[in-house]
Amino acid sequence: MKSMTAYARGEKVWENLTFTLEIRTLNHRYRDIVLKVPQKLFLLEERIKRLISTYIHRGRVDCIIKMSGNIEELNTITINWEAARAYKKLLEQLKTGLSLKGEITVDMFLGVKDIFTTEEEESDCELFWPPLEEALREILGKINEMRQKEGENLKEDLEKRLTYVKELVEAIEGQAPKVIENYRQRLKQRIKEIIGQEVDESRLVQEVAFWAERSDITEEIVRLKSHIKQFANLLNTDEPIGRKLDFLLQEMHRETNTLGVKANDTFISQQVVEIKTELEKMRQQVQNIE
């Protein structure tokens, strides 16, 4: 189990260049990779994202890559001959039309846009990829180590809270049979106070049975125990489980609400409040899990 928050920084020296990498991962409902790379690495963006995706399955990833060194040596300067000839022709027309003297020189072309261009060849990107990939894998390995370590801490906390929730559910389960008898005694006493005589036991049994059917919480308890078991099993898997845990907590909260509404009992109501408090704390923790 992994947390979604981590940070790592690293460098890779390759020939006359240094790649500096920073990766920060944060909570996010889905996977969201945000890259900031030099212009020379634009053609590698999709490849970088694919590599990150093999290590990180959920969360926001901010990845910054910088290059330093003799970058200028890698630039290829080319002449756009078509643009140069067109410009020369225009200068000749201007010279003739205005009866200007002097020769057309190279200096007149130096400031003209699109005649001299700097190309960043696709082949450069292919040269950069092996060292960059190595640096990325190293830093992503560090990120995953941090996420794994933090995930173990989250797992330990969730297991403790889950155990407590299970104990609360078991306490409710133990109280459930007593609720019917308590209701029977309260109802019998209330009727006796109103009519001033002993209650017809057959009518009382019918009324209690009807109330018991409406207030039966067996189904909710069974579902809660099943969700608790599923939650515990997921905590021991290596796959991304954040969304599944979040869904289970929603279901547990729903069953707990229903249980609290149906069970007309002070003790059970107190346990329900405790369970909902723990589930909310667990939900906050689960938001950090991949």
| Whole-model pTM over 0.75 | no
| pLDDT of 39 | 81
* Rg of the chain (C-alpha set): 36
Element (H, E) at 101: none
pLDDT band for position 142 (cuts 50, 70, 90): very high
The Cα–Cα gap between 191 and 42 comes to: 82
Whether domain 6-73+122-147 has CATH 1.10.405: no
Residue 125 has pLDDT above 60, yes or no: yes
Single-letter amino acid, residue 41: L
Residue with tokens 């189904």: 219
Cβ partners under 8 Å of residue 58, min gap 6: 4, 28, 30, 31, 240, 242, 243, 290
Helix (H/G/I), strand (E/B), else coil: 263: coil
Query: Half-sphere exposure of residue 178, counting CA atoms within 13 Å on the CB side?
Result: 9
Please state the rounded mean pLDDT for residues 141-150. Answer: 94
- pLDDT tens for 36-92 read 998 888 889 999 999 999 999 999 999 999 988 765 555 556 778 888 888 888 888
The Cα–Cα gap between 220 and 121 comes to: 65
Element (H, E) at 264: none
The Cα–Cα gap between 290 and 148 comes to: 10
Higher-pLDDT residue of 202, 131: 131
Give the N- to C-terminal CA distance of the chain in Å, as an integer. 7
Residue 278 has pLDDT above 90, yes or no: yes
Please state the rounded mean pLDDT for residues 230-251. Answer: 93
Residue 187 has pLDDT above 80, yes or no: no
- pLDDT tens for 158-168 read 999 999 999 99
The Cα–Cα gap between 158 and 153 comes to: 9
Tokens matching residue 141: 């390995």
Please state the rounded mean pLDDT for residues 114-127. Answer: 65
Helix (H/G/I), strand (E/B), else coil: 57: coil
Specify which of 89-98, 124-133, 142-151 reaches the highest per-range mean pLDDT.
142-151
* Range in 175-189, 221-235, 239-253 with the lowest mean pLDDT: 175-189
User: For the chain, percent helix, then strand, then coil, each to nearest 5?
Assistant: 65, 15, 20
Cβ partners under 8 Å of residue 128, min gap 6: 14, 17, 40, 41, 44
| pLDDT of 70 | 66
Please state the rounded mean pLDDT for residues 179-200. Answer: 56
| pLDDT of 175 | 83
The domain spans of the chain are 6-73+122-147, 76-119, 149-286
Element (H, E) at 66: strand 59-69
Residue 25 has pLDDT above 70, yes or no: yes
The Cα–Cα gap between 124 and 220 comes to: 63
The Cα–Cα gap between 290 and 277 comes to: 23
